[in-house]
Structure 1
Amino acid sequence: MYQLVENKQKFISQIMTSKSPVRSAEDIDEASLNYAEIKALASGNPKIKEKMDLDIQVSKLKLAKANYLSERYDLEDKIIKYYPMKIASIKERISNYQKDFETTKDVEQFTGMKVHGKFYDEKELAGNALLLACKNHKTTDSKSIGQYRDFEMLLSYDSFYNYHKITLKKNAQYVVDLGDDVYGNITRLDNQINSISKKLETEKTLLVDIEHQFENAKEEVNRPFEKEQELQEKSSRLSELNKELDIGNKDNHAEVSLDDETEEIESRKNEISR
Structure 2
Amino acid sequence: ADPTVRNFSYTILDDKIYYRENSRMTPVEVSATAENRIKGMIRIRDTVRNLLEIQTEGFPDDQIQAAQKKLNELYDRFTAKYGLINSRANVSAFSQDSSFSLLSALEILDEEQNLERKADIFTKRTIKPHVPVTSVDTASEALAVSLGEKARIDMDYMSSLCGKTEKEVYEDLKGVIFLNPMYGYGTATEPKYLMADEYLSGNVREKLAWAKRSAEVYPDDFTVNVEALERVQPKDLTASEIFVRLGSTWVPPEIIQQFIYEFLDTPRYAQWNIKVHYSQFSSEWNIEGKSYDRSNVKAYSTYGTNRINAYKIIEETLNLKEVRIFDYVEDVDGKKKPVLNAKETAIAQAKQEQIKQGFQDWVWKDPQRRELLCKIYNEKFNSTRPREYDGSHIVFSGMNPEIELREHQKNAVAHILYGGNTLLAHAVGAGKTYEMTAAAMESKRLGLCSKSLFVVPNHLTEQWAAEFLQLYPAANILVATKKDFETKNRKRFCGRIATGDYDAVIIGHSQFEKIPMSIERQIALLERERDEIVDGIRELKENRGEKF
Query: When the two structures are superposed, what TM-score results if normalisation uses the length of structure 1?
Result: 0.21
Structure number with greater CO (CA < 8 Å, separation at least 6) is: 1
